[in-house]
Amino acid sequence: MAKDLAIDQSALDACVSIGGIYKSYLAECEDITSYTFDADGQLTGLVMATAGAWNRIVYDDDDDFANFVSEPNRESKKITFTQTANMSFSGITNDKVKKSNIAKDCCCVVAIHFVNDDSTILQGYEYDHRTGTHKLSKTKGKVTPRLDTSTPEGQSVIQWTIESEGRQMATLLDNTILTDTAIEAL
C-alpha cells in the first residue's frame, strides 16, 4: 500500500462542518463534449455542445434530506460504488411535476453537487487515479422522481433520487475554478 494514503484531519474543525448537499447542476451526458482534469484528478473544465445546458437545482435544505452517498459493493476483488443523490422540493405544483417527468426521461445524467462542507462532487462521470483515465460511470446517472403527500411534517413533497454506479468512490471538482458562475456560463 502506498505511503501517500495518510489522511490528516487536524486542520478541520468538526464543529463547523455539516453534511448534506444544498444545490446541484444537472446536464444530459450528450450535452458535455469534453472534460478536463488536473494532476490530482479534480475536474477543472468542461466543454458543452450548446451553452446553457446545465440545469441549476436548488432544493429544500431545512429538512436535512438532501445528500449524496457513495455506497461500496464488493464481490471478491471487484468493487463498485452505488452513488445516490437525494433531494426534496416542498409543495406539489404543476411545474415541479412537469420538470420531474422530463428529468425521469433522460437516459444519462451528469450531476455536480455542492456539499455544505465546501466540497463539490461530480456524479455520473469519473476519474481513475491509478490510470489517469476518465469516462462515464459504469451505470449511467438517472433521475427517479417521487411524490409524497404524507410526510411526517405534514407537508407534501416531490423528491428526486439520482442513481449511478461507478468504479470510483467519488470524483471531485476544483470549485475555485468551476464556480456557480463558471458552470452557468457553460
* Burial class of residue 60 (count of CB atoms within 10 Å of its CB; 0-12, 13-18, 19+): middle
- Is residue 109 very low, low, confident or very high in pLDDT (cuts 50, 70, 90)? very high
Residues 25, 48: Cα–Cα separation, whole Å: 13
DSSP code string of 88-132: EEES--HHHHHHHHHHHT-S-EEEEEEETTS-EEEESEEEETTTT
- 157-181 pLDDT, tens digit each: 889 999 999 999 999 988 888 888 8
- 111-170 pLDDT, tens digit each: 999 998 889 999 999 999 889 999 999 999 999 999 998 766 678 888 999 999 999 999
Nine cell digits for residue 78:
471487484
Q: Are 27 and 53 in contact (CB under 8 A)?
A: yes
**Strand, coil or helix: what is 55?**
strand
Higher pLDDT, 89 or 13: 89
Residues 47, 62: Cα–Cα separation, whole Å: 34
Nine cell digits for residue 30:
450528450
